[in-house]
Amino acid sequence: MRILSIDPGERTGIIIFDSSTESIIKNETLSISRESMIEESIPEGIFLELGSVDVIVMEDKPRYSTWDYSIEMLFLGIVKYSRKLNKTLELIFPGIWKPISKVMGWNIPKSLTSQHEIDAYKLLRYYMMINKIGEPVK
């Protein structure tokens, strides 16, 4: 099973995890702007991966928060397109996964290059813990 974890923002972190090899197969930080959007308001770096994953885990919009138009369109585009592709989409509020992440103290792979990738990784780890899926080794 392949899982795409997304920490949306002006700098969006993505992680793709393959449970069969228990490894991260992609990590990337994308700059989000209206110019970076293609199909369904999704940046090319995410759009190209949606067909190859089974589950999409994305941080939900924090309550009482506003997002830039581009981030809002990214979020809505991923929700819409994941349904179109019949993919499992899990939206998780930051107030749920962040406190657990702090308590768990997960080791962060050195290959992650930004705080956004680290947050996408922690969101992935939270999802894996809740769903009893193996641990990333890379």
Per-residue pLDDT of the chain (138 residues; tens, 9 = 90+): 999 999 988 888 999 999 988 899 999 888 776 555 545 556 556 766 777 899 999 998 776 666 676 777 777 778 888 888 888 999 999 989 999 999 998 889 999 989 999 999 999 999 999 998 876 654
Rounded Cα distance, 41 and 103, in Å: 35
Q: What is the pLDDT of residue 41?
A: 55
DSSP H or E run through 129:
helix 115-130
DSSP 18-85: ETTTTEEEEEEEEE--GGGB-GGG-BHHHHHHHTT-SEEEEEPPPTT----HHHHHHHHHHHHHHHHT
Domains of the chain (ranges; CATH) run: 2-130 (3.30.420.10)
Q: What is the pLDDT of residue 122?
A: 96
- The letter for the amino acid at 124 is L
Q: What is the pLDDT of residue 69?
A: 67
DSSP H or E run through 94:
helix 94-104
Q: What is the pLDDT of residue 136?
A: 63
- Global confidence as pTM: 0.84
Q: What is the pLDDT of residue 82?
A: 83
How many CA atoms lie less than 13 Å away from 50 in the CB half-sphere?
A: 22
